[in-house]
Structure 1
Amino acid sequence: MTGVLAASLLLAAGCSSEGSPPGQGAAPSPTTARSSSAPRRPGEAAPPAKGSVRVLRTVAEGLNSPWGLAQLPGGGLLVSSRDKATITRIDEKTGKKTELGTVSGVAPEGEGGLLGIALSPRYASDHMIYAYFTSASDNRIVRMLYDARKPAGEQLGAPDTIFKGIPKGVIHNGGRIAFGPDGMLYAGTGESGERGLAQDKKSLGGKILRLTPEGAPAPGNPFPGSPVYTYGHRNVQGLAWDGKQRLFASEFGQDTWDELNAIKPGDNYGWPVVEGRSTDPKYHNPIAQWHTDEASPSGIAYAEGSIWMAGLRGQRLWRIPLKGTEASAPPQAFLTDTYGRLRTVASAGGGKLWLVTSNTDGRGSPKKGDDRILELEVR
């Protein structure tokens, strides 16, 4: 009851998290009264010549609170259920669902539960699935053996905790994990509603962490002996690398600006001192920003020279064309209000994306068939 009351007070105070209505925050400055990345209603801005999205098909439907997605090398998609704490395998050709099992130790509450998943970089030999989840005491990262030879529902081994102690809350649990081109494990965390944690380099909240596959601070991290890679984040839920191995991350704002950031190790991204762009050189500015009702971003992916970003409250898919670590043109929105809240987007290769909706998470308006995985063709 205390946690529910705390969440209610935070939301009443204007805390825009995964699509909750924003409060009466500070007004945007006159020079940025509207995001340069935001199209104006009614109607979307015409996409640039090389920007298009086509929905090829619905891969699977009837999913419960889907969150993380991982593509198996031999075919098949793994999807985590935030609230049921299960991992399910989807046959991407037929849509058949096979439940691997339930991840023990998960304590779903608010925005917490079973969140991001990723395959071991040595998956071909170790068959390990990594998962980020909320336990009764913290957010943590575990790994589990996946044995497809066992009966459905019994294919997950016991979770082996490799990293723990990430602050948990009813809101702002972060949750995205991904192995980078360097073979290290990256994790986006939230400040759990305690703003000060984001600027505290000794805290794991409001950070991007970089770990070895065994859960130790990765060699070459900017703060010796620390897993912290960047700090000053509010709630990171999207991680993706471009074709030149440069990392990008999406981040929830509060009342005014959501962000897409180019990640530079050791940099301070400003929260809670600043939200969105700032004139203070101490803080790394986002490469694009949006009003919170147009984005509330979660997952991101890189394809065809652009970052593609899923919007929860914004209920649209954003394309951010890149030139180096900058946006080369104003972002464009697609699928606006077509499939509801969008949680995860992942590269499917060959100019295609997997897109996961998020309408059964308690904040959406589920339609028949929700939630679903879509296959998109993009350019």
Structure 2
Amino acid sequence: MRTGRTTSSHRRRGSAASGRVRVGAAAAMVALAVSLSGCVNFTDQDQTKDAGTFSANNESIAQKKQPPTSTPTPPPGPPPSGPCVDPDPAVIATCLESTGGVTAADDKGDVTMVAERTTGKLITTKRYAPHRVLATFPVDGSGDGGLIDFALSPTYSQDQLIYALITTASDNRIVRIAPGDVPKPILVGIPKGQNGNMGSMFFRSPTELVVATGNAGNPAAANDPSSLAGKLLSVTSLRSGANPPPRILASGFGSNVSMCTNVNTGTLYLADQTPTEDRVQVMESGGPKVLWTWPDRPQIAGCAVASGSIFVSTTRTQHIEAINEPTRDKPAITPPVVLLEKRYGALGRMTALPNGILQFATVNRAYGKPVQTDDRVVKWLPPSSSEDRT
């Protein structure tokens, strides 16, 4: 049993996996930003700010040389008031039910898309904007089940299809939904438990959906090849109907499994909770390899990769911590650094943008002490590696 963070067993080295498949997450994010332009009600003030100033293409040089005329700009009005207005400017979504997966819905991180785990609603919003429900899934939100995670079709701007990992009365399953339709099953029969239902999913390519499943409260099932619990799955049959079983990429995962990728290299990392420790692993050609473990079990709930670091969010200790992403030149892992502590309460899933900004969701309604504006989504830029992060 591991007793500390400084032992060699905690500093497993991770080399780059051979034969990595290019991640399609960046393309999906572009499609998401385009498709949501009509989904969120922006205030006039925000629209004016975002539009900037333009001049006609045929503007003459003489006109350009004329001194500009100044038009007084009215001062911005006061922020809206009400029980769901959070004074923290980093908070971009408020008054959510307990959350599941979260992803950024624009390239600046101002807009978010977040799953309400217990209601089955997939919501998009931004600061001071109303909630817009993109889809609703019938779910069993008891325990840690419900609308667990979601992924937009790689061709979302054309087909508007949304895939989701949900809990029903009988199982956990993957479904997809089209506008104006009901969810259709893609993969059924993933074991359901009183806990251990939380998993994760993303499109690794236009034809492959990668899904990580929790152990459904049964660690033995995670190592049982006949069970879909505690597994990393490759789902390539994406139409509804009687689909063949998915390919099992890896086994032995615990509860609350989250995934994060380096979109430049395609490297896949997984975070989960086991009965003895929380951990972060890297998926290599030979299977998952442990990078770091937390014997104190802070309840890691989310992970994200940005700017040379692997970030994890925790529920019990209410942290965001970072370890360095291993490289060929620097394969050793240094001890985690706490970058954010007990500012927003219990933390759930998180995601990273290419510019290094993170979005993370709180889970105070289920696991913390909720304030009036909970649950929330926060936009946050971690300190750079050159800064003192202690």
Q: TM-score, normalised by structure 2?
A: 0.70
Match of 2:293 in 1: 289
Q: Work out the CA distance in 2 between the residues paired with 1:347 and 1:365.
A: 26
DSSP-derived class of the 2:358 partner: strand
Q: Work out the CA distance in 1 between the residues paired with 2:93 and 2:246.
A: 40
Q: Which amino acid aligns with 1:359?
A: N
DSSP-derived class of the 2:123 partner: strand
Residue 377 of structure 1 deviates from its aligned partner by: 1.1
1:70 and 2:103 are equivalent in the alignment? yes
Match of 1:79 among 96, 114, 117: 114
Cα offsets for 1:35-83 (capped at 9, x unmatched): 779xxxxxxxxxxxxxxxxx96111111110111233469843211111
8 Å CA contact 2:11–2:333 kept in 1: the answer is no
**Runs of 4+ residues over 6 Å off in structure 1:** 33-37
8 Å CA contact 2:116–2:147 kept in 1: the answer is yes
1:332 and 2:337 are equivalent in the alignment? yes
Match of 1:245 in 2: 266
DSSP-derived class of the 1:200 partner: coil
8 Å CA contact 2:5–2:294 kept in 1: the answer is no
Tell me: CA distance 1:349–1:225, structure 2 relative to 1, closer, same or farther (3 Å). Answer: same
1:350 and 2:355 are equivalent in the alignment? yes
Residue 157 of structure 1 deviates from its aligned partner by: 2.7
How many residue pairs are counted as aligned between the two chains? 300
Residue 120 of structure 1 deviates from its aligned partner by: 0.9
Q: Which aligned pairs between 1:51-66 and structure 2 lie closer than 5 A?
A: 57-66=90-99
Q: Which amino acid aligns with 2:120?
A: A
Q: Work out the CA distance in 2 between the residues paired with 1:365 and 1:34.
A: 35
8 Å CA contact 1:137–1:168 kept in 2: the answer is yes
Q: Which amino acid aligns with 2:321?
A: W
Match of 1:163 among 187, 193, 207: 187
Q: Work out the CA distance in 2 between the residues paired with 1:302 and 1:332.
A: 15
Q: Which aligned pairs between 1:141-220 and structure 2 lie closer than 5 A?
A: 141-146=174-179, 157-181=181-205, 183-212=207-236, 214=238
Tell me: CA distance 1:184–1:265, structure 2 relative to 1, closer, same or farther (3 Å). Answer: farther
8 Å CA contact 1:70–1:118 kept in 2: the answer is no
Q: Work out the CA distance in 2 between the residues paired with 1:80 and 1:313.
A: 21
1:313 and 2:316 are equivalent in the alignment? yes
Match of 1:302 among 294, 305, 317: 305
Match of 1:260 in 2: 280
1:376 and 2:380 are equivalent in the alignment? yes
Residue 266 of structure 1 deviates from its aligned partner by: 6.0
1:229 and 2:216 are equivalent in the alignment? no
User: Which ranges in structure 1 are unaligned for 5 or more consecutive residues?
Assistant: 1-25, 38-54, 147-155, 217-223, 268-283
Name the larger-Rg structure: 2
Residue 314 of structure 1 deviates from its aligned partner by: 2.2
Match of 2:72 in 1: none
1:102 and 2:136 are equivalent in the alignment? yes
Residue 174 of structure 1 deviates from its aligned partner by: 2.8
1:364 and 2:368 are equivalent in the alignment? yes
1:118 and 2:151 are equivalent in the alignment? yes
Q: Which amino acid aligns with 2:3?
A: P
Match of 2:173 among 140, 160, 181: 140
DSSP-derived class of the 2:270 partner: strand
Q: Which amino acid aligns with 1:88?
A: I
Q: Work out the CA distance in 2 between the residues paired with 1:203 and 1:346.
A: 29
Q: Which amino acid aligns with 2:188?
A: K
Q: Work out the CA distance in 2 between the residues paired with 1:29 and 1:334.
A: 20
8 Å CA contact 2:272–2:279 kept in 1: the answer is yes
Q: Work out the CA distance in 2 between the residues paired with 1:29 and 1:306.
A: 21
DSSP-derived class of the 1:349 partner: coil
Q: Work out the CA distance in 2 between the residues paired with 1:368 and 1:33.
A: 44
Residue 171 of structure 1 deviates from its aligned partner by: 0.6
8 Å CA contact 1:35–1:291 kept in 2: the answer is no
Cα offsets for 1:335-370 (capped at 9, x unmatched): 212111111111133121111111012x21112211
DSSP-derived class of the 1:287 partner: strand
Q: Work out the CA distance in 2 between the residues paired with 1:58 and 1:31.
A: 35
Residue 28 of structure 1 deviates from its aligned partner by: 3.3
Q: Which amino acid aligns with 2:360?
A: L
Q: Work out the CA distance in 2 between the residues paired with 1:292 and 1:30.
A: 10
Tell me: CA distance 1:98–1:142, structure 2 relative to 1, closer, same or farther (3 Å). Answer: same
Cα offsets for 1:81-123 (capped at 9, x unmatched): 1111112121x3544212234312x112111111101111111
Tell me: CA distance 1:215–1:231, structure 2 relative to 1, closer, same or farther (3 Å). Answer: farther
Cα offsets for 1:295-320 (capped at 9, x unmatched): 21122111111111111112101112
DSSP-derived class of the 2:222 partner: helix
DSSP-derived class of the 1:233 partner: coil
Residue 291 of structure 1 deviates from its aligned partner by: 2.6
8 Å CA contact 1:253–1:292 kept in 2: the answer is no
Q: Which amino acid aligns with 1:83?
A: T
Q: Work out the CA distance in 1 between the residues paired with 2:130 and 2:225.
A: 45
